[in-house]
Amino acid sequence: MKLIILLSILSFSSFALEKATFAGGCFWCMEKPFEELKGVKTVISGFSGGKVEDPSYKLVSSGKTKHIEVVQVTYDPKLVSYNDLLAAFWVNINPTDKGGQFVDRGHQYTTAIFYHNDKQKKLALSSKEYIKSLEINDKKIVTPVRAFKKFYAAEDYHQDFYKRTIVTKLKYKYYRNASGRDDFLEDYWKDIKLDFNSQKKVAKDMKNLKETLTEIQYKVTQEDGTETPFKNEYWDNKEEGIYVDIVSKEPLFSSKTKYKSGTGWPSFYKPLESDNIVEKKDRKFFVTRTEVRSKEGDSHLGHVFTDGPEPTGLRYCLNSAALEFIPKDKLKSRGLEKYLSLFE
């Protein structure tokens, strides 16, 4: 009886999962962005759009099959929406390139959204229209929205290439950096925040931010700048309260986890709201660091290092210019009274 119940649960769980298929050029580079999304179960590299049955990578690469490289995403719609997948897709491609993606040229490396049902088609087309409306540059958005027909998985050695072995990790990093993909994505999408779920679809109003932020606040949050150590507002602030993003006002850190690091910048060993923190690799200045950004505001905050105190061993080294400090006696008036219990 227990076995029957277990099988029923597994069957129901599998039934609840959905699939989505995207083409974004080299499939090695499209696996990671989707695998990082909570609710995504699997991301498989393969091919779609052609007429040859079960083609090999070598045959597809020849351009004779009319297939294009894709990733097929299996996801739990209760945890991650198709709109979330669309947002991740767009910001990882060049939607204006009809001849391939970056150094990879040819039809097999072009972009596409393959919809599996009418709902996906409607959402995909809507997202494309929005991308067009942004008018990021004067080039036409050429990524097509196509009906999904068949998917063929690529050979095993292509799956999870970016993390499979030490050798593939190195090859992936070299390829990704040399291809020009990262530089293009950072420049093209830097001012864009996509939110297809809420229908906000907000592109940052950079002109307005320049008017509302100080010069150093704008330089730090929007241009990834760094302020001078020991000569910034909060490096030695000992008052109790919380720190929020200067742009979005989302809660980020608390004075309870702030400590004197000796660096001259406000430092914390733990976020107040970890869901409001986004970490990404920063390869500037010929060294790899971990950048810290706010989730909603997408503001550059600083970096996180592994030389902090217990219990986390982390040091979130931030710029005061990216933060606004809210003293504990102002929390209620700012609608942040739920954090008052931290200081009781």
Catalytic residue, chosen from 20, 23, 26, 194, is 26
DSSP code string of 105-172: ESGGG-EEEEESSHHHHHHHHHHHHHHHHH--SSSPP---EEE---EEEPPGGGTTTTTSSHHHHHHH
| Angle in degrees, CA 39, 268, 302, rounded to 5 | 70
CB 276 within 8 A of CB 247: no
Task: Please report where in the chains the tokens 């971990």 appear, as a residue.
Answer: 290
Q: Kindly give, in sequence order, each residue whose CB lies less than 8 Å from that of residue 264, ignoring residues fewer than 6 positions away.
A: 228, 229, 230, 231, 232, 235
Axis-axis angle for helices 82-90, 118-134 (nearest 10): 40
Tell me the HSE value of 152 on the side-chain side, using a 13 A CA sphere.
19
DSSP code string of 265-311: S-EESS-S-GGGEEEEEE-GGGS-EEEEEETTT--EEEEEES---TT
Q: Kindly give, in sequence order, each residue whose CB lies less than 8 Å from that of residue 215, ignoring residues fewer than 6 positions away.
A: none
Active site residue 29: no
Phi, psi of 97 (to 5 degrees): -100, 110
Cα separations in angstroms, 289 against 12, 303, 311 = 42, 7, 21
Residues 327, 243: Cα–Cα separation, whole Å = 9
Residues 327, 129: Cα–Cα separation, whole Å = 44
Say whether 180 sits in a helix, a strand or coil. coil
Catalytic residue, chosen from 123, 252, 304, 317, is 317
Residues labelled as active-site residues: 26, 317
